[in-house]
Amino acid sequence: MKVEIVKVDVLAKKVRRMTDYVAEEKPLHIFLNKIHYATISCSPSNLKELTVGHLLSEGTIKSIEEIEEISFKRKDICHVELKPNIDLEKRLKLSKPFSRVILSAYSSPSPYQLSAKLPKIKSNLTVKAEIILNCVNRLNSIAETFRKTGGVHTAAIYKSDGNLVAFIEDVGRHNAVDKVIGMGAINKTNFSECFLALSGRLTGDIVLKAARVSLPIVASLAAAIDSGIAIAENVGLTLIGFARGKHMNIYTFPERVL
């Protein structure tokens, strides 16, 4: 959205009024079988993708086929009906506490303990280092909202040959990952044959989201932290940070990078 600002140039000792772009953040209220499941602060776009991706990446549903219907009563209220054979009460007990308010910069509790319940990622995917670098570096060139505002994160899913499967921008790095996973799931993407590229830090909760949908490689422009590395090691995921220019840091399972 556009806002009026006062721009100060200290070097030139000039002040001027002008119009600039800023990123938007709005609440999305998700109801699961008519029960309030979560309220997420997010960019107000690709909300169906965000809902699907969030349910998948948080382990609430195992596949998109478990969803009977998704509908929006208003732009900010999403109703999800699961198929009758799904025991929602049991699912919610196994996942994190529901009826949550999720800020755009939220952090999951105890992600390492949650990762211990996941099966090891089994994927024969290998990708050339040059392709990974090119795909991660390409994020900024295709990120229109970021170029305008500087206030969003980006996430993309690529095939092993560098072909783009899905791309998303959002004010929250978790939301960006959820949205791109949701977009891939809606398009029936086989995640085990793809890798995730993003602009945000590689924290434990981000790596956990990728692991839940069996993405074998996650690469970012930004740094990895210890929880992200620990979870990647635990689930068999290749984790790459500081993928910039002609260099990258591979923290776990480097054999997938050629």
Tell me: the pLDDT tens digits for 177-200? 999 999 999 999 999 999 999 999
Residue 116 falls inside a structural domain:
no
Q: Buried (b) or exposed (e) across 58-87, using 16+ Cβ within 10 A?
A: bbbbeebebbeebeeeeeebbbbebeeebe
Q: Of the residues 42, 74, 109, which one is the last residue of a structural domain?
A: 109
Residue 83 falls inside a structural domain:
yes
pLDDT value of residue 119: 85
Domain with 241 in it: what CATH number? 3.40.140.10
Residue 122 falls inside a structural domain:
no
224 CB-near residues (< 8 Å, 6+ apart): 201, 202, 239, 241, 249, 251
How many Cβ atoms are within 10 Å of 174's Cβ, its own excluded?
Answer: 29
Given a cut of 70, the residues of the chain with pLDDT beneath it are 94-116
Q: Which domain holds residue 48?
A: 26-109
pLDDT value of residue 104: 56
Task: Please choose, from the candidates 207, 138, 193, the residue with its C-alpha nearest in 3D space to the C-alpha of residue 161.
Answer: 193
How many residues in the chain? 258
Residue 13 falls inside a structural domain:
no
| Contact by Cβ (8 Å): 158, 134 | no
Residue 19 falls inside a structural domain:
no
Residue 197 identity: A
For residues 137 and 239, membership in a common domain is answered with yes
- Burial of 122: CB neighbours in 10 Å, binned 0-12, 13-18, 19+: exposed
For residues 100 and 33, membership in a common domain is answered with yes
For residues 144 and 250, membership in a common domain is answered with yes
- Total number of domains in the chain: 2
Residue 31 identity: F
| Contact by Cβ (8 Å): 257, 238 | yes
Domain with 37 in it: what CATH number? 3.10.20.10
Residue 247 falls inside a structural domain:
yes
pLDDT digits (tens, 9 = 90+) for 144-156: 999 999 999 999 9
pLDDT value of residue 96: 57
Instruction: Give percent of the chain above pLDDT 70.
Output: 91
For residues 144 and 222, membership in a common domain is answered with yes
Residue 155 falls inside a structural domain:
yes
For residues 141 and 233, membership in a common domain is answered with yes
For residues 95 and 150, membership in a common domain is answered with no
